[in-house]
Structure formats: structure tokens, C-alpha cells
Structure 1
Amino acid sequence: MAFVIGVDIGGSHISSAVIDQTSNQIVENTYFSGYVNNKESKEEIYRQWSEIINKTLSVKLNQEVKGIGIAMPGPFQYKTGVAMFEKNDKYEALYGTCVQSELKEFLNKKDLPIRFLNDASSFGVGSTVINNNSQENIVAITLGTGFGATFLSHQIPVTDQDNVPKEGCLWDKEFRDGIADDYFSTRWFLKRFEFHTGEKMAGVKEIALQDNRVCKRVFEEFADNLSMFLYPYLEKFNTDLLIIGGNIAKADEYFLDQVINNWKVKDFNIPVIVIKNTEKSIIIGASFLFNESFWSEVKDKLPEL
């Protein structure tokens, strides 16, 4: 049995838990989460992050924790632990700082090694671990505040092959009048619903609850866009399985059937799994950085940004 702390850092939150690597499950009473103000000073951001991680560290366990795996959004130098947040409206006070070394100064246990993985990659890895998916080629996407994606081959993130986009990312790829992140995120839903109705909504859940003609129209448009955008990337990667997570995935009943049907017309049939507890997958995926066979495969391939 081995214990590792998995951490999910988002744009405005942090979650932390101890993972039993034998079962790849969260250890009871070790999960904590909290809000983070990403516009604060460097010291305050570290303080807010460490407050949650230290709660997890403070739980008495029957054995020592061997490390901390952190799922971190980009841009970030995952090999060196240096933050590159600039002009992206979050954590900009950390730009150019080594999170790997500076965060340790705020932790109750300063000697634990810290490793980093992209948050979308963590979601994909964690989802395959939880569901014991052995398919050769898996694509995992997160639909929420932003659009995340990872390409996996036997659970290993693929970032430098000809059959995947640069760095294995999709959010920045051109689509229609902008980039994919403009179309496959919460803000697109809010803008489109307001465009059709003049009404402002708080989130995708509130739009789905309308359950009216405009709601149906917005979700249909989203489904057509998503199926059109993903198709060439999934086909080129010879994808065996698509995994979808994020808050928008909780409304999959409004768009997923249409996505699948659009692909069937192209004679493209691919199984799709929806993960409703995205955070759990991310935390477990981050902790998997201390699975030594996995680490030996990815440590020299981690993207720099």
C-alpha cells in the first residue's frame, strides 16, 4: 500500500485528497476543497493553495505519504514546475516563479517531492485508471470554463506524434471565427443564449433548466459544432474511446446523442463515456504521477507550456 496526495488546481478553486495507490481510491476523510482568488499576490495564492493541501496533510494515516501530484492548468512548464501564466486572467502574480520550490515553503511537510501534470491530462489519466480502460488510443476532453483535451496511448499522454495536434492540445486550434475554446466553453453558451433571448444566465445548468425551444436550439448548435470540430482529430488518432468530463458534460442528455448521430452519418462509430465527477478523476490522475512505471514514461515528455 502507498499513499499519495492528489491536487486539482483550477482557475478559482483547489481540491486535495490522499489516494491509496493500491486501489486508486480517495482515502476517507482526506478530501478538502476551497475557493482561490487568482488575482491575489503570489504569497496569498500560495497561502490559499497550501491551506487546503495542509488540511489533507494533517489527517492521521497509518503510513506516510510519499509525494504530491498536482494537476495544473497551463501555460505551465510541467517539467520544471515554473508558472507561465501571462495575459490569461489568472494567477499572473506567479509568472516566472518556480511553484515546485516556492509552494513547499508554505506546506507543513516541506520534504515531499512535488510533480505536475496538465489538468486535462490528469482528467484523462484518472478516468482511465478509475474505469480500467485498456483501449490503445483514448481522447479525453473537458467542457467547462475552458476546453481541455488530452490524447492517451495506453494511459500515457501523447504530445509529440504526427497523429496528434501540437502539445496534444485542442483549445487553441482554429474553429469558425475564432478558436475552439471560444465555442466549447461555458461562456459560449451564455453568449448564445443571450443572443437569442436577451437574457443573461449564470451557467449551462440554468440554460438547460429552461427546457424550451431556445434551449434546444443552443444545445443543437453546440452539438453540431463539437462533432464537426472533433471528428478530424479523433479519426486521425484512430481513437478507440472518447471520454467527456467538465460541468457541461452534466448536461450530456441535451447534446450527446446528436454528436454521436452526426458521426454515424459519416460512418464513424466510436464509444463515448461521460464522467460526471470530473474532479475525482483529476485528483486520481494527478496522484498517478507517483506510479513509477507511469512516471518513467512521462517524465521526459512533459510539455514545457
Structure 2
Amino acid sequence: MKKYAIGTDVGGSHISCALVDLEKGELVEGTRSEGSVDNKADESTILKSWADVLANSMKAINKDDLAGIGFGMPGPFEYESGIGRFELVDKYESLNGVDVASKLKKILSLDPSVPLRFMNDASAFAVGEAWLGSAASVDKSMSITLGTGFGSAFVDSGVPVVEGETVPKMGCVWHLPYADGIADDSFSTRWFIKRYKEETGLEVSGTRSIAEAAYENPKAADIFKQYGSNMGEFLGHWLKKFDTKTLVIGGNVTGAYNLFGPAFESALKSQGVDTSIELSKLKEDAAIIGSARMLNPEYWETVKSTIPKM
């Protein structure tokens, strides 16, 4: 087994990556690279911006020592083949139908035999936390990311669970009905922005200013309590059904856990949920570590049949 892989976290407007030592199970110091991306740009501009960031991390080793590159990639994406399917979404439209894997190999001058492997970004986050993070000590975990979207994934023995009776369709919860819409409407940043305007008449761009106001403004504080209570009410059923030992919470909204956490935990307790709640240890490194793990041959054998179902 080649010792090093690059793990990559592709976001809607950024990309970050680092070299991961697969034997030691750790990021290689000094190899983190990141950059902003214009998701409305043409195909060549986007791929070049990704390749430039990847090349920076690759400088630390000889290309012959690279086991491959793993990507935590937002959907819709054909994860098995590495082809973009960004249709009817407000990002990366120019990559729809593009063989991202083959084109990046050419730009980076990689041998065609070097594997580029892709996984849903929320799943990559969950795999990273299950391997080296806050869920490393348990077999069954769920990870959620709270931010511009409501990311989620269930993991059993390191492998994402995307089908079966114990998880929702696709192995995630963002699309499930909740309130007057779907869960993503109620547990993403835009819910906070909408509720804050309804309660105060003020417009804000994100949750940070609402969190700052919560220490003096009871209405702002109540919004976080409502958020936590609603999310606990929503997640409790699935945490029990999956027999989840640990729930890992990550994403930007996690910084305000002291404001919504007590209500969240209380809502879970009222349903008899005894899942351990942990904040992400790896944070932005989780998806990098999780995606790099796909280049470990033994792990790849356990997960490769799941990839096409994401």
C-alpha cells in the first residue's frame, strides 16, 4: 500500500485538501491547501482552481508515492464514475456531464492508473469522524453538519449506511418532511434568518449576528431554543431506529451550541434517546480525512459497493 493520499473537501464556494498518512491515520503537517472557487465559472476555470489547490498539497511527496486522491463532493454527482450531475442546482452547472476524474488527472499530469475516488461530502465528514474523530470509539454513529444546508450521514463500522430499514432513503435526512416543508428548510442557516426577521423585523446574513444578539435579546435567544427543540424532536426517531451510539455535530452553527444544545438534548431525553452527543473534533478536517480513507485498499473493499448508491 502506498502510504499517502490526498483528501479533499469540495464546498459550494471553496476547496480544501491535505496529504493524509494512511498508515498513521493523520494529516501530514504543512500540507493543507485551500482556495475559493467561483461555482458559476466555466468548466476549465473551476477544474483549474481545484487542480491548483491539489497541486499545492501534492508538492510534499513524489507523485509515484501517491496512493490517489479522495473527494468529499456535494451532490448531485455520479460518485462511482467521477462525473458531475449538477443539473437544476445553483452551483457548478458547467460541470454537468463532465468526467471530473479524467480531466483532473490530465491537468495534474497524473498517471491514468492513479485512482480518484468520490464520496458524498456529508458521508465523507461522517467517515472521518468515525475513523479518527468524535465517533471513533463506537460502531454506530450519525454525523450532522449545520450550516447553509443540513448535512447528515449514518455510519456503521466505518461504512456509510445508505439503505435499509434503519435509515431514511439515501441514508440522510435533509429531504424528509418537516413542518411546512422539508428538514433542510428548518435546520439550515436560512431558517434562522427567516425567523429572526419574523420576530424582530431585522435582516441579517447569517447566524453569527443572531447568536451575538441572543445574550441581550430574549427573542433571539428563543429562536435558538426553538431550533434545538425542533431538531431534537425531528432526529430522535432516527437516532433510536439506527441504534445510534454517538451523534457528532459539526458545521458553522455548532459554535452556538450553548444556545441551542440544552433544548436539543432535552427534546431527545423526552423521547428516551440515550445517544451520546459530541461536537466535532476534526471540524473542517473531517471530510478531508474521510475522503482520503477511500485510498486505503482494505477500507475501499468495504465501502466501494456503497458509493454508487449515494
TM norm. shorter chain > 0.5: yes
- Among 274, 277, 286, the alignment partner of 1:281 is 286
In structure 2, list runs of 5 or more residues that go unmatched: none
Q: Is the 8 A contact 1:7 1:283 kept in 2?
A: yes
Q: Which amino acid letter does the alignment assign opposite residue 196 of structure 1?
A: E
User: Structure 2: how far apart are the matches of 1:66 and 1:164?
Assistant: 32
Partner of 1:128: 130
Partner of 1:139: 142
Q: 1:49-101 CA deviation, whole Å, 9 max, x = no partner?
A: 11101111123469822110010011111111111111220101111122111
Does 2:260 match 1:255?
yes
Partner of 1:150: 153
Q: 1:11-66 CA deviation, whole Å, 9 max, x = no partner?
A: 11000110111222211111011110101111111011111011111234698221
SS in 2 for 1:287: helix
Partner of 1:245: 250
Does 2:207 match 1:204?
yes
RMSD: 1.7
Percent identity (aligned): 38
* TM-score, normalised by the number of residues in structure 2: 0.94
Q: Is the 8 A contact 2:226 2:263 kept in 1?
A: no
Q: Is the 8 A contact 1:250 1:276 kept in 2?
A: no
User: Structure 2: how far apart are the matches of 1:87 and 1:197?
Assistant: 34
**1:91-170 matched pairs, under 5 angstroms:** 91-111=92-112, 112-131=114-133, 133-170=136-173
The more displaced of 48-57 and 258-267 is: 258-267
User: Structure 2: how far apart are the matches of 1:26 and 1:215?
Assistant: 39
Partner of 1:68: 69
> Residue 267 of structure 1: CA displacement?
2.3
The more displaced of 286-295 and 5-14 is: 286-295
SS in 1 for 2:307: coil
User: Structure 2: how far apart are the matches of 1:24 and 1:60?
Assistant: 17
Q: Which amino acid letter does the alignment assign opposite residue 36 of structure 1?
A: V
> Residue 110 of structure 1: CA displacement?
4.5
SS in 2 for 1:255: helix
Q: Is the 8 A contact 1:69 1:290 kept in 2?
A: yes
The more displaced of 35-44 and 195-204 is: 195-204
Q: 1:132-183 CA deviation, whole Å, 9 max, x = no partner?
A: 6232211111111111111111111111211111110211111111111111
SS in 2 for 1:145: coil
Partner of 1:298: 303
Change (3 A) 1:303 1:224: farther
Q: Is the 8 A contact 1:159 1:303 kept in 2?
A: no
Does 2:236 match 1:235?
no
**1:1-20 matched pairs, under 5 angstroms:** 2-20=3-21
Change (3 A) 1:51 1:201: same
Q: Is the 8 A contact 1:79 1:300 kept in 2?
A: no
Q: Is the 8 A contact 1:139 1:152 kept in 2?
A: yes
The more displaced of 129-138 and 13-22 is: 129-138
Does 2:46 match 1:45?
yes
> Residue 108 of structure 1: CA displacement?
4.0
In structure 1, list runs of 5 or more residues that go unmatched: none
Change (3 A) 1:158 1:58: same
